[in-house]
Amino acid sequence: MEKVTISKGQIWTKKSPTGKRGDRNYEVKEVFADDEVNTLVVLRDFNSNNPKAKEAHDMLNDESWVYRSNACIVEEIRVERTIDFGEDNYTSTKPKKKKKKKEVEKVFIPFPVKEEATATGVDIKREAQRQCAVTQSKGKKLTQIAKALANAKVKPAEKKVVPIVADEKTEVKEIRDWNTFNYYRYDSFDIFANILRDTETISLHTIRTGFRRGIYKPLHSQAIAMWRDGEMSLNEIRLVQPTPIKNQLTGENDWRPCQMHNFVIRILKAVYHFGTLEEKKALFEEFN
């Protein structure tokens, strides 16, 4: 089999494993190579225009990925010309009605609705952040290139396609699976902040209020201090910080770890009250 090197502009097809969903065609938009880690390939789905990131060795070792060496993208602009004489059809029993003059010539030029499939810096950064979250949820260590892409400073695209929305309600981003944060250590704080900055959780009123009496204030302070040490993940800190939870059957307080969603809120509140200025700026707009 001829050795293939993935490069920008190539066309690849991802075959459907069952054949029910159909094959997907992708265009290679960017290739990020590093001497120490695997090469990251940023693709753009030809039909949906969505970005996708893959490791190069995964594509080359997977028979369902097929390189289309002779394929290329062809754009076609079609012009249709018609003549409207502005006359009504009538029978001899009906008088001819006057009609306003129409344009003698009509020209129809259909252009593609979607913009050219170009992977912007914002698309690449978002996809890298998603890949980092998936990698950490599996307990694996992030590669240097993945972290660099997720934390890169990029400028927004000059042109932005705004979808037509039926109502004027603003969609608020929220986390689907809070267990994604189980393996996050403090060296991934910047990625942690990027993911949570614009979510509904970050705007909770309880994060900015004071603490109830008892263990809660030192509990929050201890949580952020343990995370900064860099030795423990968020889930490990959660497990060693049980809190009193009322038993619905006995009415007594049982000491057990809270859910990951509530523990992330604990970390956010700890940053708001005990964090450094850099930590606060990364998460909360009011500190910028």
**pLDDT value of position 117:** 41
Please tell me whether residue 170 adopts helix, strand or coil conformation: coil
Greater pLDDT, 215 or 80:
215
Least confident of 39-43, 124-128, 150-154, 208-212: 150-154
268, with CB counted inside 10 A (0-12, 13-18, 19+), is: buried
d(CA 284, CA 268): 9
Give 213's strand partners.
Answer: none
Cβ-defined contacts of 44-52 (< 8 Å, 24+): 44/117, 44/118, 44/119, 46/73, 46/117, 49/114, 49/115, 49/117, 51/119, 51/123, 51/124, 51/126, 51/127, 52/26, 52/127
Integer-rounded Cα Rg, in Å, for the chain is 28
pTM: 0.46
For the chain, what are the domain ranges?
178-287
Q: 């089999």: which residue's tokens?
A: 1
Percent of the chain topping pLDDT 70: 73
Query: Is residue 35 over pLDDT 50?
Result: yes
pLDDT tens column, 44-92 = 888 888 888 888 888 888 888 899 988 888 877 777 777 766 665 545 5
